[in-house]
Amino acid sequence: MMPRLIVVSNRLPLTVQSSDAGLEFAPSAGGLVSALGAYLESRRRAEPDFDCLWVGWPGAPVPEHQHGELRERLQREYAAHPVLISAEDAHNFYHGFCNNTLWPLFHYFPSYVAYDPTYWETYVRVNELFRDAVLAVAQPGDTIWVHDYQLLLLPRMLRDGLPGSKLGFFLHIPFPSYELFRLLPRAWARKLIAGMLGADLIGFHTFDYTQYFLQCVFRTMGYEHSLGQIAMGDETRRADTFPIGIDFDKFMNAATSETVASRRADLEAGIRGRTAIFSVDRLDYTKGILNRLRGYAEFLKRYPEWQGKVVFLLAVVPSRAEVPQYMRMKHDLENRVGQINGAFGTLDWVPIVYQYRSLDFDTLVALYQLSPIALITPLRDGMNLVAKEYIASKPDATGVLILSEMTGAARELGEAILINPNHWGEIADALLQALSMDRAEQIRRNRPMQERLRAYDARRWASHFLSSLERVKTQQGQLATKTLTPTLVSAICEKSRLASSRLLLLDYDGTLVPFASQPQLAVPDAELYALLASLRSERTRIFLISGRDRHTLGSWFNGHGLGLIAEHGAWIREGDLDWQMTKPLTSAWKERLIPIFRTYVDQVGGSLFEEKDFSIAWHYRRCDPQLGAQRAKELIDEVTQFTANLDVQVLEGKMVVEIRNAGVNKGAAALRVTAQLNPEFILAVGDDQTDEDLFRALPETAISVRVGVPFSHARYHVNDNHDVRRLLAQLATHGVPGSAP
């Protein structure tokens, strides 16, 4: 069978109800269903053999005697597979941990968070039910795409059951900063992060959410990243940004349909020539509906000349009726609407027309069409597709979007009037600006937004994510290095022996010598001196390329005829000549950062501060491992924010945090040496993240070896510095002209 796409979400794209008459099926709505529906439809048109299976909860408990019928009909009629959950588990899972713990925490409402162990236990159990359902239908080669906060644990569970699977995860709500995320019990937080890291590719709506996730990965699990690529020992993962789109053409085409035109005419008659301000939201405390009403009331108070000329069409869609905060909010909302209508209304004018019900698609588009102003002001929102739908429903590009800057959509819709929803005065002034905006200005703002939404629609979003997942899997294969076996060593020696010229680029600490408790103790031994001497010849050049300062390297290797590259590439010395800077550098920034580093030395017993010409470092090898790792994460957070406007890089090595000038790295230094010498044979060996710059810069013909980690840009890996010395000894014996083949 051909590989399939398996979509896994909390809910199926349909709802199942059991009655005396049997099973009844009805389509369900939502942003994910709409976005993926558009993509799947276009994919099936383009590829007749394309197959997709959707796995999820059917929306309600189904009696056990109907389970067989349910599975058979879902498979046959809807290409779906159910996850069957008891009523009690469904309540504790969805209304419990999902919406009383994760939802408020991820949306920055920590006071609403419930830390109930029963909810957590149910969350784990339901994720296991989803795992079992997927494992029951998955086939070799399938692509599995897991969605949203209800299933944060599932990717790791699936990875354990399907080790080689192609697995993606997408979060459709905000991911919080570490200061919020750390409020979870530590064991829960670690398991949630580990769960997400089971996926090869983890997707978010905005760059901010991606960065918050990467920060939490580092602070919670200790895994560092490079441009979103996360190194996890023998595994790699990638986190990236994919802003979800809408079915743009669906809304644009509907806006010109006769059905919508007729519905719009009916609605226009009801507002009697007044200017409509429209908003639609689910009932949710994150949506800022009460703030919106306060802002509207402030507008009517500040600008009384608009009283009687505008009408606020407020549609609220019922949601999560079992959660107490939602019922209290509904009560407060209706009281506020009554107060505003009572304070400002007249016998022939009602300032707010309020509806608490769902809207069908044609009515929704008609309201978008009817309203010159859309007021969309969530306090926190992962994306907010309503804002995009409003812009897409305007064929003539008129209308004004007032949008909260706290939404993910604000990153894409910068031409809208962006406001802080916590300030009612901003909402009031934005309404005045919108009402005063001429038609030409509206079009000037809306056309670029429409082009953006048309280009990156729902189909493009899904296609972009899945193609990125393919690339991540390919890259994982490329980064999976081979263990340097005796057979491979022999082949490398033979390649070296046949070469007319050779260049060896060797890291020092952790590569040629083991790490020491203090940097100055890792001095070269007699065996190392002899080994390097046996390798060096007229046609074999050796460069030690290290993060060490130039004075230490120089004192250790003076008179040995070696090339030395210090401070990760800031300084270079060939043989016993003078040191040279590889590029003009400044160290003025050090004065601002040294006090921060010294503070951490004072706070953490056993840690050390090291100052070099163009870098500074904080070593914590002698510290308590857990305390040192925790303080290192805090130091990186602090200096990363402090250095945002400085031309420097913050690096974490093995038990060291270092800051150096930007643009200085081992790769750039290696390119300088290889361009000058043009060797036929190149061997590079290193042991940490700074050496990845070196491996990436070398030509494909180079032999590159990473110490300790099997996932790297190097071609091969060995276990430790003893293996490195054995390799070099073999090279000295068999890898030079005249040696035994």
Residue with token string 């040995």: 560
Give the pLDDT of residue 515: 83
At 1, the pLDDT band (50, 70, 90 cuts) reads low
Task: Name the DSSP letter for residue 715.
Answer: S
- Structural fold of domain 5-241: Rossmann fold (3.40.50)
Candidate from 158-172, 410-424, 465-479 with smallest mean pLDDT:
465-479
Query: CATH number of 248-455: 3.40.50.2000, 3.20.20.70, 3.40.50.300, 3.40.50.12780?
Result: 3.40.50.2000
For helices 186-196 and 207-221, the axis angle rounded to 10 degrees is 120
User: Rounded distance, CA 724 to CA 463, Å?
Assistant: 44
Question: With 60 as the cut, is the pLDDT of residue 483 above it?
Answer: yes
DSSP 3-state of 563: strand
Q: Phi, psi at residue 583, to the nearest 5°?
A: -160, 160
- Structural fold of domain 590-661: Alpha-Beta Plaits (3.30.70)
- Closest to 176 (Cα-Cα) out of 168, 184, 188: 184
Q: Phi, psi at residue 618, to the nearest 5°?
A: -120, 115
Cβ burial of 690 (10 Å; 0-12, 13-18, 19+) is: buried
Question: With 70 as the cut, is the pLDDT of residue 739 above it?
Answer: no
Catalytic residues: 507
What is the CB neighbour count within 10 angstroms for residue 538?
A: 6
- Structural fold of domain 482-583+663-734: Rossmann fold (3.40.50)
At 312, the pLDDT band (50, 70, 90 cuts) reads very high
pTM for the complete prediction? 0.79
User: Rounded distance, CA 490 to CA 735, Å?
Assistant: 9
Contacts of 699 (CB under 8 A, 6+ apart): 674, 682
482-583+663-734 shares the fold of 248-455: yes
Domain boundaries of the chain, sorted by first residue: 5-241, 248-455, 482-583+663-734, 590-661
Contacts of 166 (CB under 8 A, 6+ apart): 141, 142, 143, 144, 200, 469, 470, 473
**Residue 190 corresponds to which amino acid?**
R
At 558-609, the pLDDT tens digits run 989 999 999 988 999 988 888 998 888 888 888 888 989 998 888 888 889 9
- Closest to 702 (Cα-Cα) out of 673, 681, 676: 681
At 186, the pLDDT band (50, 70, 90 cuts) reads very high
Q: What percent of the chain has pLDDT over 70?
A: 98
The tally of CA atoms less than 13 A away on the side-chain side of residue 302 is: 15
Q: Looking at residues 307-325, what average pLDDT do you find?
A: 87
